[in-house]
Amino acid sequence: MSILLIEAFYGGSHKQLMDLLQEELQDDCVLCTLPAKKWHWKARTAALYFMQTVPTSTNYRILFASSVLNLAELAALRPDLGKLKKVLYFHENQLAYPVQKCQGRDFQYGYNQILSCLVADVVVFNSAFNMESFLTSIGKFMKLIPDHRPKDLEKIIRPKCQVLYFPVRFPDLSRFMPQHKLARLEKVTGLKRNGDAYQLGGLPGQQESGALGGLMKNSNAHHESGLCEAQPGLCTTQHEGLPSPLTAPARLNKSEASESTNPCQEEDKQHLTFNLSNILSGRDYQQRPLHVAWPHRWEHDKDPKTFFKVLLKLKEKNLPFHVSVLGEAFTEIPDIFSEAKKALGSSVLHWGYLPSKDDYFQALCMADVVISTAKHEFFGVAMVEAVYCGCYPLCPKALVYPEIFPAEYLYSTPEQLFKRLQNFCKRPDIVRKHLYKGETAGFSWAALGGKFRSLLAAEPREDL
């Protein structure tokens, strides 16, 4: 057990990454966690908890933790851990998080992350946008201190920093895909039908672009869906790991259900199981209205108001579409959700969190377009997953999105988003025939696993 993994907020993408590393490292690591509840308290107090609960060992050589943990406090409270090579992973950063109200306590979270960077040996970010937005904001952030401000912190921290994208394992979801998506997949990847199953033929290299280009390389890997919990300052999508749909039956254990499921969504229990037969029944799929998916948590930083405003404008013009709102809700739900559900009426195909991972991917496979209206995103696992499921992405021309998606999938204003959707509502065949021009295989565990292994395989320090 030479690697100590610590996660102060063990949920969503934080959980997925730790589970994936633990699975890959096997007996060479030990994982210590706190549950994904009350994020602000975890950020404040996790170090003290781990001081008492992390077992001592002379075998530790590397400490890997997410930036929720105040690493400086833990290193001071546990000098034995402070001597290890310390790797800090940023899923999100507090310096660029859009707060609704500026409160005195908001300063502490960003300050904790700066302190953690100063004591870390390596600082890793899940995107270049995440890294640059953090580093270039340090100077302005420290000006909030009324006097005697520290200087040149960016220059001290930057040499430690690197970008290592969030690793996603992509399963074979061909059993969930409608015929037109399978046809695209077959065209691009050389997927061959064998009875009711599909077999992989000659796959394109990672450099090639096209619908799902290179993604099916990982179809035999166990699936880890990249998700994040809903809480201020943390990126999100929706769910955690699931077995490969090729090798395991669809099932939902009690442990798979989110601990944070909001009672406000209880009224939508009838929607919690996404039934493929219901979607495919009736008219030919190509003749069905455009199906729009929004797989984000129900909080202000994902800007649901803009999303629903655009949809309601489409509805006012009597344009046909269906919508699936798949994100998870927590304690405080913006009023716009209940208002929009009522106003959208029969256009709603699904409303609410899908605790079954198969159901979630099935819903994405049946959608045509996936939309982000986020004001805060450092990677966007949900969008990458949706593209893998054959959805046409529409994202803001801001934040991390230009780093992940080609320019044709970006919009600058809500009006541009509306015009794109208006055209798609009139001609849904446009997106159903479209071959994705981006490349997402580079975000797979197959592509990134070696880099994570190298990061965690450093030689022990001489002073241990």
Provide the pLDDT for residue 187.
60
Q: Residue 266: is its pLDDT beyond 60? A: no
Short-list 405, 413, 402, CA closest to 388: 405
Residues contacting 145, CB < 8 A, separation 6+: none
Across the chain, mean pLDDT equals: 81
The mean per-residue pLDDT over the stretch 306-319 comes to: 98
* pLDDT of 388 higher than 80: yes
Report the pLDDT value the prediction gives residue 191, as an integer from 0 to 100.
Answer: 44
pLDDT of residue 268 exceeding 50, the answer is no
What is the tens place of the pLDDT at every residue in 117-149? 999 999 999 999 999 999 999 999 999 999 999
Strand stretches in 132-194, DSSP E:
161-163, 191-194
pLDDT digits (tens, 9 = 90+) for 337-367: 999 999 999 999 999 988 888 899 999 999 9
* Most confident among 250-264, 283-297, 424-438 (mean pLDDT): 424-438
Q: What percent of the chain has pLDDT over 90?
A: 62
User: For residue 46, what are the CA distances in angstroms to 32, 72, 290?
Assistant: 11, 12, 46
Per residue in 5-19, pLDDT (tens digit) is: 999 999 878 998 999
| pLDDT score at 190 | 47
Q: Strand 410-411 to strand 392-396: parallel, antiparallel, or no bridges (unpaired)?
A: parallel
Percent of the chain, pLDDT > 70? 74
Q: Give the tokens for residue 421.
A: 């959707």
- Cβ atoms of residues 214 and 206 within 8 Å: yes
**CA angle (145 as vertex; 140, 151 as ends), nearest 5:** 60
- The pLDDT tens digits for 216-265 are 333 333 333 333 333 333 333 333 332 232 333 333 333 333 344 443 34
**Tell me, what's the pLDDT at 231?**
35
Q: Give pTM, 2 decimals.
A: 0.78
Helices (H), 127-178: 128-135, 138-142, 153-157
**What's the N-to-C CA distance of the chain in angstroms?**
15
